[in-house]
Structure 1
Amino acid sequence: MSGSGAPIRIGVSSCLLGEKVRYDGGHKHDPYLTEVLGRFFSFVPVCPEVECGMSTPREAMRLEGDPDKPRLMTHRTRVDKTEQMLRFCRDKVEQLAGEDLCGFVFKKGSPSSGLFRVKVYREGMPPTSGSGLFAAAVARRFPQLPLEEEGRLNDPVLRENFIERVFAFRRWKDFLAHEPDLGKLVRFHTCQKLLVMSHSTQLYRELGALVAKGKELPLPELLECYQGLYMKALELHATVKKQTNVLMHIMGYFKKELTTEEKQELVQLIGQYHDGLVPLVVPMTLLRHYIAKYRQQYLQQQVYLSPHPAELMLRNHA
């Protein structure tokens, strides 16, 4: 949910929502999107082929030629649909700019909507990998927007990274919507510390340096630079090693409060997480208990403790 309580808006390839818009007249309904993420997100469906004027069903198409500037060709009749699709892409991305999107899930392999490893055929040579024409246009127009393919959401690490970025982008947009200034940015940055550290200590330091010299920059430039670094940091994966470092960092706040036995128990749980024996939620649950018990105010404000709804169980995989 957004700060206003409204569902977070993300773009989705229409076929993934069960709409019968594919070239064969079918769909590729993804239950995880509609039944799980649909509890927290609202969807802005896009089918580039249908919306640019193609029929359903229609002849299959593929990308051909230069992977950096591929042509969209019908497979059997050899009709070039590139300009028709590119005109749609130019108009559609500007329309999407007004949709307040915080992410986009594309259909893998599609010559229009595939984000990664879409086959681009070249005469007499093996196919190379590229991006669908519409997916590439979205990536160019919204360089910080979290983007993913539905197939990759089956990977728990990629799924958590994408969803975490969607919620982070929503938090940032909510921050921008409430008359931001340097003081508010300092508070925002403080609350993001452990979350960003779990992705990149280097980019956390760069963000800190940016905020520290905030008075030297015009506010719009400062906010633009912060957004770029913030989303760049979160795009990096929060590995087990990075997460373990953050857990030990949190534990350091309780040096005086915990007994020797409590410290040993916590170290053991963190070690078990590090070794892949228990999921992240296990040591996090005990740390949350101590944070509440000892009223550790600095830690209580850390987004890292709940960067996304617990119901999604994103931290429950070992």
Structure 2
Amino acid sequence: MGNKIPIGISACLMGENVRFDGGHRRFSFAMDELAPYVRFEPICPEMAIGLPTPRPALRLVKDDQGRIAMRTGKNQDDTDLTQAMQSFSERQVQRLAHLCGYIVCAKSPSCGMERVRVYDRAGARKNGIGLYTRELMRQLPWLPVEEDGRLHDPQLRENFVARVYTLFEFNQLLQQPLTRAGLIAFHSRYKLLLLAHSQPQYRQIGPFVAAMGRFESLESFALEYRSRLMRLLSNNATRPNHTNVLMHAQGYFHRYLTQQQRLELTSLIDSYRQGMQPLLAPITLLKHYMAEYPDAWLAQQRYFEPYPQALRLRYGH
């Protein structure tokens, strides 16, 4: 996975002065930590439909029939930009199927992913979605999409990056001639990571892969698998699930380790389970034993390095 990963991003988060007030909202995690590994594709939908900067702040307004409009104000005689934004969004998103993730600007009437203010006769409610992002998620439901504000949460940040890297590898697989063996090998590499994110969905996706032959083509199977894969990974990995995965991996070394080594590893996993150790601690010890006692199946598992360790996403888990 040596190539840089294509990720869409709201242009203001890259530090471009495109906001309504003429400023930007540079997102340090994206630009200082993630940038070395990805290729950002920035867009400001509001500038793209011809609005200047600075400009009047836009609003989402709900009429009496429940329809959402994008306006330069909340009154009916203000400029209605709904059709312009919708038409642009539909055209733009059609070109974005190659992306592996998208970071959008929180609270924006065009880019916000959730809790965007929607105005009606009763006032404002934080229950809207930006028009551009709504179209993005409609056309590309498998695409990892997150807001800059939500990515300050360590668990959501780790989840987003794990999904981005998984989709990047799967998209590379789609660019090659598909084979049954290649698809099964991909799924095998991700088994432990999937188990960490959702045990119920993990138990469902296995039989789905085993029934690959029932699909009309490998291409149709691969597209449905992508949807199920990304839906599974959208669940945050939990401490109990991680503990289950760690104990599963521990079993591979039972016959090689001394009693003292087994007790040490068990104690470390239990300390993680109780929240007294970060996830990185038992994983580091397991990786040490993987080097000393190689196992082909464990060695291929993306769980142990789903993204570059330099991103430091598991340090606080």
TM score, norm. by length of structure 1:
0.95
Change in 2 beyond 3 A, CA 1:20/1:68: farther
Kindly report which structure 2 residues correspond to 1:1-318, keeping only aligned pairs within 5 A, or say none: 3=1, 5-65=2-62, 69-75=67-73, 78-97=78-97, 100-218=98-216, 219-318=218-317
Change in 2 beyond 3 A, CA 1:37/1:212: same
Secondary structure of 2:278 counterpart: coil
For 1:310, give the aligned amino acid.
Answer: Q
Following TM superposition, by how much is the alpha carbon of 1:282 offset from its aligned partner in structure 2, in angstroms?
Answer: 0.5
For 1:51, give the aligned amino acid.
Answer: A
Asked if the contact 1:103–1:146 (Cα under 8 Å) also holds between the matched residues in 2, the reply is yes
CA–CA separation in structure 1 for the residues paired with 2:35 and 2:179: 34
Change in 2 beyond 3 A, CA 1:6/1:69: farther
Deviations 1:106-134 (A, max 9, x none): 00000000001111111124524010000
Secondary structure of 1:89 counterpart: helix
Q: How many residues align?
A: 313
Tell which deviates more after alignment, 70-79 or 134-143: 70-79
User: Which ranges in structure 2 are unaligned for 5 or more consecutive residues?
Assistant: none
Following TM superposition, by how much is the alpha carbon of 1:140 offset from its aligned partner in structure 2, in angstroms?
Answer: 0.5
Identity of aligned residues (%): 40
Following TM superposition, by how much is the alpha carbon of 1:79 offset from its aligned partner in structure 2, in angstroms?
Answer: 1.7
User: Which ranges in structure 1 are unaligned for 5 or more consecutive residues?
Assistant: none
CA–CA separation in structure 2 for the residues paired with 1:133 and 1:290: 50
Secondary structure of 1:157 counterpart: helix
Following TM superposition, by how much is the alpha carbon of 1:202 offset from its aligned partner in structure 2, in angstroms?
Answer: 2.1
Deviations 1:154-187 (A, max 9, x none): 1000000000000000011111122121121111
Q: Over aligned residue pairs, what C-alpha RMSD do you find?
A: 1.5
Asked if the contact 1:68–1:130 (Cα under 8 Å) also holds between the matched residues in 2, the reply is no
Following TM superposition, by how much is the alpha carbon of 1:69 offset from its aligned partner in structure 2, in angstroms?
Answer: 4.0
Asked if the contact 2:117–2:124 (Cα under 8 Å) also holds between the matched residues in 1, the reply is no
Following TM superposition, by how much is the alpha carbon of 1:280 offset from its aligned partner in structure 2, in angstroms?
Answer: 0.6
For 2:23, give the aligned amino acid.
Answer: G
Consecutive aligned runs of 4 or more in structure 1 exceeding 6 Å deviation: none
Change in 2 beyond 3 A, CA 1:308/1:69: farther
Asked if the contact 1:109–1:119 (Cα under 8 Å) also holds between the matched residues in 2, the reply is yes
Secondary structure of 2:125 counterpart: strand
Following TM superposition, by how much is the alpha carbon of 1:151 offset from its aligned partner in structure 2, in angstroms?
Answer: 0.8
Secondary structure of 2:70 counterpart: strand
Asked if the contact 1:109–1:117 (Cα under 8 Å) also holds between the matched residues in 2, the reply is yes
Asked if the contact 2:178–2:219 (Cα under 8 Å) also holds between the matched residues in 1, the reply is no
Following TM superposition, by how much is the alpha carbon of 1:95 offset from its aligned partner in structure 2, in angstroms?
Answer: 2.7
